[in-house]
Structure 1
Amino acid sequence: MSQDVAITAGSAGHRDGTAHGKVSPGEIATAVVIGRTSEFFDFFVYGIASVLVFPRLLFPHIAPLEGTLLSFAIFSLAFIVRPVGSAIFMWVGRRHGRGVKMTIALFLLGSSTAAISFLPNYQSIGYAAAALLAIFRIGQGLGLAGAWDGLASLLSLNAPPGKRGWYAMMPQLGAPFGFLMASGLFAFFVGVLSDAEFLDWGWRYPFFCAFAINVVALFARLRLVLSEAYSQLLETRELAPVGVFRMLREEGRNVLIGAFAPLASFALFHLVTIFPLSYVTLFTDLSARDFLFIEMSGALVCVAAIVASGLIADRIGRRTLLGVCAVLIAGFAILTPFLLGGGVKSETAFILIGFALLGLTFGQSSGALTSNFSSRYRYTGAALTSDLAWLIGAAFAPLVALGVSSRFGLAFVGIYLFSGAVCTLASLAINRQLVRND
């Protein structure tokens, strides 16, 4: 890494007054990217299966559209339980330590994902198969909430002067990396297996892989999280968990404003990944395999855009960039029905432009307003803000987009995305005014 500036752990609170090692931004960034890639791999493996597998596996007796809508309803459960998971695992972390908390969380996340690979079909046990999937999905959501480790906040806080945007974008690279891995696996199996083979066993392999990837991510993060230097840095920065209700009582306003700030980004997140795959497979002749390759090209564009967001944010400011991107997303929302409904070339343009905008805004969306929190509440505040932002902006996006587009047309998908951009702009404006008043 070009700027691997070492941060020496302070000696405060240690009787001998000696430092206990160094933790560099490069080490933190590596652990964060590996961890986020594993989490998003799990996320996208499930999301793609929600389109290509679960409607046919669990709801073969109803129409494909209705089956996909039911699948998306189960998809949202992980986001609904995330705030609950954060509260539970914050308590575990305070009582038993960060290592225990993260080990339990990642084991729950990985085992829930792996368990889905053994899911029986509707013909075997009826609606109980859908109930099992819902339980495993809830396990994924709880595990993902517990996997919050504060590394991204620590990375941003310890960034060299003038480089906060650059270091803030690094954790976000996990999203396109995870999507590339998940999409590549599904594209391969859809392409080389017959439809019967894919539906019987082929789709299960990516879920097996998820558990192995989570084990690698667990050790990569534990190596840093359990180090004495890291613990000392957390104490120095006061990045320690506090009670959720206590934090809400003291700084709930910051949670609410911060949750709406990335709404345009998080709404766009699913409208260029999961939703268009469902729309194309249900309403066009383009094969899932071909469209996955188009989306993988978009993910590569997203990687470049996320990197660019770090450079741009350090020049004009993170919040300014979010505001500019929200305006651009609002314009993109107007074009959505014309692009997504205009044939293969237009659909490709929708994906490439959408992923480019996603990279620019998503690259700086994480914790853009967490500096509003006092240091005492930053760790818990950042975690809960992230949970609520995903719940409000992304949990129901595929369900709503597919539902309104099938009933009222693609123009309503554009309206939905436009509303997210308006919420982001409003949140940034309110935050600016409150900062001025304070």
Structure 2
Amino acid sequence: MTTSTLPLQSRAEDIHHISPGEIAIGVMIARASEYFDFFVYAIASVLVFPSVFFPFESQLNAMLLSFVIFSFAFIARPIGTFAFINIQRQYSRETKLVAALFLLGFCTAGIAFLPTYKNIGFAAIIFLGLLRTGQGIALGGTWDGLPTLLALNAPKNKRGWYGMLGQLGAPVGFAIAAGIFYYLLTDLSSADFLDWGWRYPFYVAFTINVVALFARLRMISTKEYAHYQEEFKLEPVNAIDVVKHEKYNLIIGALAALASYALFHIVTVFPLSWITLYSTRSASGVLAIEIVGAGFGFLGVLASGLLADRFGKRVTLGILAVLIAIFSEFAPYLMGGEAFKQNIFILVGFTLLGLSYGQSAGAVTANFPRKYRYTGAALTSDLAWLLGAAFAPLIVLGLSAELGLSYVSVYLLSGALGTLAALSVNRTLESKN
């Protein structure tokens, strides 16, 4: 028997074993850097862009227009996934990742240097939209399969714990982004902040991208990583084939995480926008509470791993969807109240977000045949972001401003019902197979 025909397990004897902990570190670094980028732009969409790019509109309309451009990245993300998967198939995963993170860094740095409406008029808005679209395309290319590899390589009784580790990047990235904006708001005058101070977080984001790039390349360019990719069949296939053959699994997977993704911007971006518009509270004060909330969210993500290993990932998601539905009924009362009630909304919301988001990644990824799992997981994530989070700040702020805060409840409840319906359908399909 030749070496090439030996089973993968035999050929792996001379290959250093990558522990789940090593993979987890790579996943956390990658996700924290991506979420930092994500939240820097999100916070700037509330505190900066309405004033510097849409000064000709009222404060509300300027913020809504800012959220329109905010959504461009989520629309473009699936396009990036399709494009960069082809690059990976033709060249290599290293080439794909370098190209994607180079594009992300270019667009992020481009926003930092972008002239404002005062300088070049409507061209500034066009450039902002193009750079935001570029960020979305780049994010579609940053998928490296590490979360799926981590889940498959973890001990069976610890998959919930290891599966949530990458999700810790969300509260960590938010806390760092919010902390930098908090410092700038409290240390600079309003004029200086809107003139040049807001650009600093985008410079930091570019620097973090460079560090994250080398950390990820160090992981995925090893022969050990290549072995595991081959062993678990985590190689990209044509994305169109995945859509054609696995469309139901894509839809079920996206909807299974909908409650979490719907909540994502409702507790991070929406409170900051609503309170900024309709309260005398300072933006820095709101950010301070949200930073504490991110700590609650961090603990929630950790707890989700323990719950998933005890009760199962899908049961955990179902229970959290019910809790989010209950929470949605209190949202108008809390957000429409005084500062204390608004703070409760933020802190409880972050806690629920951590508990649900901690297990939202790959909720039904196992439904995909191994051949399609790598690409299917990437497309499922793109679709979940698009359906649940892309337009949340725009829709909820617009409807709440015109018709009342009850629409916060409607949005969150629709996400919770979507998750429960998807989990129910998935259970029915599994019982028939």
**TM bucket by the smaller chain?**
over 0.9
Residue 361 of structure 1, aligned match among 356, 363, 366: 356
- The match for 2:304 is 309
Query: Residue type of the partner of 1:100?
Result: T
- The match for 1:23 is 18
SS in 2 for 1:149: coil
Residue 112 of structure 1, aligned match among 95, 107, 113: 107
Residue 224 of structure 1, aligned match among 204, 219, 224: 219
- The match for 1:175 is 170
Distance in 2 (alpha carbons) for counterparts of 1:70 and 1:12:
57
- Confirm or deny: 8 A CA contact 1:21 1:229 kept in the other structure: yes
Distance in 2 (alpha carbons) for counterparts of 1:391 and 1:169:
21
- Confirm or deny: 8 A CA contact 2:72 2:136 kept in the other structure: yes
Query: Residue type of the partner of 1:41?
Result: F
Query: Residue type of the partner of 1:313?
Result: A
1:213-249 CA-partner distances (Å, limit 9, x unpaired): 0111111111010000100110000000000111122
Residue 96 of structure 1, aligned match among 85, 91, 100: 91
- The match for 1:352 is 347
1:254-281 CA-partner distances (Å, limit 9, x unpaired): 0011011111100100000011100000
Output aligned runs, 1:282-293, within 5 Å: 282-293=277-288
- Confirm or deny: 8 A CA contact 1:309 1:361 kept in the other structure: yes
- Confirm or deny: 8 A CA contact 1:105 1:143 kept in the other structure: yes
- The match for 1:272 is 267
1:55-74 CA-partner distances (Å, limit 9, x unpaired): 00011111010000000000
2:236 is equivalent to residue 244 of structure 1: no
- The match for 2:132 is 137
- The match for 1:63 is 58
Distance in 1 (alpha carbons) for counterparts of 2:353 and 2:10:
48
Alpha-carbon distance, 1:12 to partner: 3.9
- Confirm or deny: 8 A CA contact 1:11 1:19 kept in the other structure: no
- The match for 2:79 is 84
- Confirm or deny: 8 A CA contact 1:323 1:425 kept in the other structure: yes
Matched residues, percent identical?
Answer: 54
Output aligned runs, 1:294-333, within 5 Å: 294-333=289-328
- Normalising by structure 2, report the TM-score: 0.97
2:200 is equivalent to residue 205 of structure 1: yes
Distance in 1 (alpha carbons) for counterparts of 2:9 and 2:431:
39
| Structure 1 residue ranges (4+ consecutive) displaced by more than 3 angstroms after TM superposition | 10-18
- The match for 2:424 is 429
SS in 2 for 1:22: coil
- Confirm or deny: 8 A CA contact 1:173 1:306 kept in the other structure: yes
Structure 1 residues without counterparts, runs of 5 or longer: 1-9
Query: Residue type of the partner of 1:355?
Result: F
- The match for 1:48 is 43
Distance in 2 (alpha carbons) for counterparts of 1:276 and 1:17:
51
Output aligned runs, 1:147-158, within 5 Å: 147-158=142-153
Alpha-carbon distance, 1:18 to partner: 5.0
Query: Residue type of the partner of 1:179?
Result: F
2:379 is equivalent to residue 410 of structure 1: no
Residue 255 of structure 1, aligned match among 231, 250, 260: 250
Alpha-carbon distance, 1:129 to partner: 0.5
- The match for 1:4 is none
1:347-405 CA-partner distances (Å, limit 9, x unpaired): 11001100010000000000010000011100000000000000000000000010011
RMSD: 1.3
SS in 1 for 2:156: coil
> 1 or 2, which has the higher helix percentage?
2
Task: Count how many residue pairs are aligned between Structure 1 and Structure 2.
Answer: 429
2:114 is equivalent to residue 128 of structure 1: no
- Confirm or deny: 8 A CA contact 2:160 2:309 kept in the other structure: yes
- The match for 2:159 is 164
Q: Structure 1's 141 and 16: CA in aligned 2 closer, same or farther, altered over 3 A?
A: closer
- Confirm or deny: 8 A CA contact 2:8 2:231 kept in the other structure: no
Query: Residue type of the partner of 1:87?
Result: F
- Normalising by structure 1, report the TM-score: 0.96
Alpha-carbon distance, 1:416 to partner: 1.1
Structure 2 residues without counterparts, runs of 5 or longer: none
Alpha-carbon distance, 1:165 to partner: 0.2
- Confirm or deny: 8 A CA contact 1:11 1:18 kept in the other structure: no
SS in 2 for 1:163: helix
- Confirm or deny: 8 A CA contact 1:11 1:17 kept in the other structure: no
Alpha-carbon distance, 1:295 to partner: 0.3
Alpha-carbon distance, 1:251 to partner: 1.4
Distance in 2 (alpha carbons) for counterparts of 1:169 and 1:287:
33
Distance in 2 (alpha carbons) for counterparts of 1:15 and 1:44:
45
2:330 is equivalent to residue 335 of structure 1: yes
Alpha-carbon distance, 1:121 to partner: 1.1
